[in-house]
Structure 1
Amino acid sequence: MGTAETLPRNEEGIAAALGVLKQQFGEAFHTGQSMREQHGHTTTWIETQAPDAVIFAKSTDEVSAIVKVCATHKVPVIAYGTGTSLEGHVNAPAGGVCVDLTEMNAIKAVHAEDLDCVIQPGVTREQLNTHLRDQGLFFPIDPGANASLGGMASTRASGTNAVRYGTMKDNILALEVVMPSGEVIRTGTRAKKSSAGYDLTRLMIGSEGTLGIITEITLKLQGIPEAMSSARCSFETIDAACQAVMATIQYGIPVARIELLDSLAVKAANAYSKLDLPEQHLLLLEFHGSEAGVAAQSEMFGQIAEEFGGSGFEWTQKAEDRTKLWQARHDMYWASLALRPGAQGVSTDVCVPISRLAECVTAAKERADELGLISTVVGHVGDGNFHMLPLVNMDDADELARAQGYVSWLNDLAISMGGTCTGEHGIGQGKRPYLRKELGAAVDVMAAIKAAIDPDGIMNPGKIL
């Protein structure tokens, strides 16, 4: 496992705070080792750093009460959703208290006529969309995992639909946030636009719990399209597939999703999801609109794909066929792990301008091969974002070092191309070394904001900065 940085512990403060919180929260307060380690869990190479206690909060008032105690004793507070983050976001490098928000999972209001809803942070995207379905509405941001929407807001998540519907920052109207003092603020209203002061909503989105704990979210919704179609097409080279993506975007075809799987990823999907796709580089697409519109969009893409040597082009509007393909895409993490039983996936992502996509993906694949790393390539390539997943024997120090060096090289490559070291995973602990390379002195401005809002540094310390 990768070694995570530890921070100084406030032993006296932690002991005092835990004594007070145990009395206040009773059965909702946990200090068992397995519970604590579960809440320091990370699904990538970074080692687990468990908190000293876990409290299952049920309301904004309870979150505020927890934070007030921790603020009094200068004890770290870490918010926890479903634990699907990938860069050590929920680790507790200085110990402290983890606030589990999974029981704050109420859908408080749906305003169908205004295309918005108000939810608590523990609501998952699948839960919300199941609730909305009979009203003809859906929430489009789909990172693959059934993540909590509070966690998705905190990491500025995106996913497969981002090319058409944007990311979390584009789909949140307002937040309720418990600040480091325990004070509760609202950052906006249900109005679709506002010029009222600083945009605190966007400040909190992507702040990874380092400025406050999100306890309520007002989301934009979309109407379920009249029709959806999915298409697939195979390519002999990654470059050809990426060139087809660039042409599709540049021609203005309104794709909802456009995903790349390299040939190794296709092989993994065939084995894991019982498919029979040609084991070449693959593009998966989805189109939303009218019956005639999605048919026309599918056919236009087919013509573009043909120009770049695409083969086996097929499209369908059958729900069962579409679901099977997209479920296979969402299962790619587990499918990839099955390629090398016993190995762990070192998941990383970058994002580059669409014009550099083919060059970046090709270089990433070639570099992994040069280093002797087994890695699938999958990506939300409509917006230049892709993921590498080196499969690593964590007991082999040399192999782990090569994988870590590879991740560093890939981050630097993306930044050199005018891109970012993380398109959607966030910074957490794992990407911290690359933030200043990407943004320079802007990191000092972030630090100044952090110091002003959280002068004692209790909110999710050791992340981002």
Structure 2
Amino acid sequence: MTTDFTPLKTRFGDQLVTKQAILDQHAGGEGLTAAYPPDAVLFVTSTQDVADAIVFCAKHAVPVIPFGVGTSLEGQVQAVNGGLCIDMSKMGKVIAVNPEDLDCRVEAGVTREQLNLEIRDQGLFFPPDPGANATLGGMASTRASGTNAMRYGTMRELTLGLTVVTPQGKVIRTGGRARKSSAGFDLTKLYIGSEGTLGVITELQVRLFGVPETIAAASVQFPELANATQAVQLILQLGIPMARIELLDALQMKACIAYSKLDAFEEKPTLFLEFHGSPAGVADQIAQIEALLIDFDAGPFRWATATEERTALWTARHNAYWAARALAPGKESFATDACVPISQLADCIEACQKHAKASGLLTPIVGHVGDGNFHMLVLHDPNNPNERMKAEALSEQVAREALARGGTCTGEHGIGLHKRGLLRVEHGDAVDLMAIIKAALDPQGIMNPGKII
């Protein structure tokens, strides 16, 4: 049935768009090739805009799909039943920064790069960096993290409070600015990771950190992947306070060498590391790491403290996705997202590589291995049914290998459309309780239908 959006057009004017080109731009994220365009896109500029739109949608049983900048990887923004896409990109205000308390309040459309640009002159930064320049609302909705998570935490730990519009169009505020509270249910944590299925996040109160006095980056290569993963395990067991530890396997390094012109590197498994702290503390950490990694046949060590050198190093790491895609021009990709206890990391990656070899597909690996999270990018031709089938099967095999080792099928990308079946494998009957919560808060089922449950 076609929805009559005339009342919304009267209320919002040009903010409501039904042009096919705009609908197509909002038909999906980056991870899945299937496109599901909405019936209309509303570019909201305030929490009240969102509330008014949802009141209309609740009255007419119209699906609501929140949209940030479309960087989700598991099909979170596909409008599987049509409906109204609420685009948050124009809600981009940094509302308040509190340097003394190391927190700030932002609208949900603020991107992580924008926030860091606005607060850096105050000596502050916001750590999560999921690679893409995602919005904070989207990052909270998928419980995102990234390369800094092992030291600073994920969106779960860094979000103090939220403003949320419920499926009935009511505006609520959860949490606050205090660093702890025992007052009632923790609704902030309920909405974080809910992927727009329980309400629309319009504002966030988040923690900030002081820019470290000294930052040093490093890279080191290994003869075998097992050497690198075992080294990471020992680093963590010894309690060396690393800021980041990123792993790229030999195939991913081949891609990055070509794409980012890393001519000084070889096509070998590589760790990218970063240290934060005082000059003496960072120097001590570096000395410990150098001494430790010799036992794993590591080398050469490359250190960088200058901002431009560190930026170049981490830009190459963040461009790993596009570098990997360049290995097979014309092919599509999706990334697995396994996360396991650190003691299981080497064994899990080895098992997953065996599955990948059997599939015959190109599968470079990157990982936030400091917290046991790794991604296998599965390159395939979506128009080749045999390759698509192999890719889907490999994705599930990787997830099940992680689950068998006490891990999770998704460390930071979320469930969306792609992993709904695996959610039941991971949580069993607890999924029924999630469904009860969903039905209680959204009895009409209008909030991002088809996702998670």
Note whether the superposition's TM-score is higher than 0.5: yes
Q: Which residue of 2 aligns with 1:89?
A: 76
- Is residue 26 of structure 2 the alignment partner of residue 39 of structure 1? yes
- Partners of 1:195 and 1:301 lie apart in 2 by 40
Q: Which residue of 2 aligns with 1:380?
A: 368
- Partners of 1:228 and 1:189 lie apart in 2 by 31
- Partners of 1:268 and 1:146 lie apart in 2 by 22
Contact 1:211 1:453 (8 Å CA) reproduced: yes
What is the aligned length?
Answer: 452
TM-score by length of 2: 0.99
**Equivalent position SS for 2:446:** coil
TM-score by length of 1: 0.96
**Equivalent position SS for 2:337:** strand
- Structure 2 counterparts to residues 9-408 of structure 1, below 5 A: 11=1, 15-16=3-4, 18-276=5-263, 277-408=265-396
Most deviating of 307-316 and 29-38: 307-316
Question: How big is each residue's C-alpha offset from its partner over 1:112-143, in whole Å with a ceiling of 9 and x where there is no partner?
Answer: 00100000000000000000010000000111
- Partners of 1:410 and 1:423 lie apart in 2 by 12
- Structure 2 counterparts to residues 409-424 of structure 1, below 5 A: 409-424=397-412
Most deviating of 243-252 and 360-369: 360-369
Q: Which amino acid aligns with 1:380?
A: H
**Equivalent position SS for 2:324:** helix
Contact 2:248 2:365 (8 Å CA) reproduced: yes
Q: List structure 1 runs of 4+ shifted beyond 2 angstroms.
A: none
Contact 1:41 1:90 (8 Å CA) reproduced: yes
Q: Which amino acid aligns with 1:106?
A: K
Most deviating of 319-328 and 198-207: 319-328
Gaps of 5+ in 2: none
**Equivalent position SS for 1:283:** strand
- Partners of 1:371 and 1:45 lie apart in 2 by 20
Question: How big is each residue's C-alpha offset from its partner over 1:75-126, in whole Å with a ceiling of 9 and x where there is no partner?
Answer: 1101000100001100111110000000000000000001000000000000
Question: How big is each residue's C-alpha offset from its partner over 1:23-75, in whole Å with a ceiling of 9 and x where there is no partner?
Answer: 21110111111211111222123401111000000000000000000001111
Contact 1:365 1:377 (8 Å CA) reproduced: no
Q: Which amino acid aligns with 2:388?
A: L
- Partners of 1:202 and 1:161 lie apart in 2 by 20
Question: How big is each residue's C-alpha offset from its partner over 1:235-273, in whole Å with a ceiling of 9 and x where there is no partner?
Answer: 111111000000011110111100000011111111111
- Partners of 2:9 and 2:376 lie apart in 1 by 43
- Partners of 1:66 and 1:364 lie apart in 2 by 45
Q: Which amino acid aligns with 2:142?
A: T
Contact 2:355 2:397 (8 Å CA) reproduced: no
**Equivalent position SS for 1:460:** coil
Q: Which amino acid aligns with 2:123?
A: G
- Taking only the aligned residue pairs, the percentage that are identical comes to 54
**Equivalent position SS for 1:387:** strand
Most deviating of 302-311 and 252-261: 302-311
Question: How big is each residue's C-alpha offset from its partner over 1:382-423, in whole Å with a ceiling of 9 and x where there is no partner?
Answer: 000000111111221111111111001111111111100000
- Partners of 1:272 and 1:281 lie apart in 2 by 17
- Partners of 1:238 and 1:367 lie apart in 2 by 16
Q: Which residue of 1 aligns with 2:433?
A: 445
Q: Which amino acid aligns with 1:146?
A: N
Note the C-alpha offset of 1:460: 0.4
- Partners of 1:346 and 1:167 lie apart in 2 by 22
**Equivalent position SS for 2:414:** coil
- Partners of 2:351 and 2:236 lie apart in 1 by 22
Note the C-alpha offset of 1:366: 2.3
